[in-house]
Amino acid sequence: MGLGSALSAVLCQAGLSAHALSLRGHGESEGRDGLMFARLRDYVADVEDVIGQLPAPPVLIGHSLGGLVVQKTLHRQPIPAAVLMASSPPHGMIPSLFGMAFTNPGLFRELAMVQTFGPMVINGLSVRRALFSDDTPDEVVLRYMHRFQPESTLVILDLIGLDLPPSTPCLDLPVLVLGSEDDMFVFPGGLHATADTYRTKAEIFPGMAHAMMLDHQWQRVADRMLAWLTTHLKDSLAASPRRSRSKPASDTVEPHLASLD
pLDDT in tens, 149-199: 889 999 999 999 999 998 777 778 999 999 999 999 999 999 999 999 999
Q: Is residue 232 assigned to a domain?
A: yes
Judged against a pLDDT cut of 50, whether residue 245 lies above it is answered with no
Alpha helices by DSSP H, listed for the chain, are 5-13, 40-51, 65-74, 94-103, 105-117, 125-131, 138-145, 153-157, 188-197, 218-239
Q: Kindly state the percentage of the chain with pLDDT values over 90.
A: 57
Q: Is residue 17 assigned to a domain?
A: yes
Give pLDDT, residue 235.
58
Q: Which of 30-34, 146-150, 206-210 has the highest mean pLDDT?
A: 206-210
Q: Which residue range forms the structural domain that includes residue 226?
A: 5-242+254-260
Helix (H, G, I), strand (E, B) or coil at 29: coil
CATH label of the domain that carries residue 29? 3.40.50.1820
How much helix, strand and coil, in percent to the nearest 5, is found in the chain? 45, 10, 45
- Indicate if the alpha-carbon torsion angle 107, 112, 115, 117 is positive or negative: negative
Judged against a pLDDT cut of 80, whether residue 241 lies above it is answered with no
Cβ neighbourhood burial of 149 (10 Å; 0-12, 13-18, 19+): middle
Q: Is residue 249 assigned to a domain?
A: no
CA dist 51 → 31, 48, 59, 70, 97 (Å)? 19, 5, 10, 12, 32
pLDDT in tens, 59-83: 999 999 999 999 999 999 999 999 9
Beta bridge partners of 204: 179
Total structural domains within the chain? 1
Q: Is residue 19 assigned to a domain?
A: yes
Report pTM. 0.87
Q: Is residue 188 assigned to a domain?
A: yes
Q: Is residue 248 assigned to a domain?
A: no
Give pLDDT, residue 242.
41
Q: What is the mean pLDDT of residues 195-223?
A: 93
Helix 65-74 × helix 40-51 angle, to 10°: 60
Q: Is residue 112 assigned to a domain?
A: yes
Q: Is residue 221 assigned to a domain?
A: yes
Tell which phi-psi region holds residue 161, choosing left (phi > 0), alpha (psi between -120 and 50) or beta: left
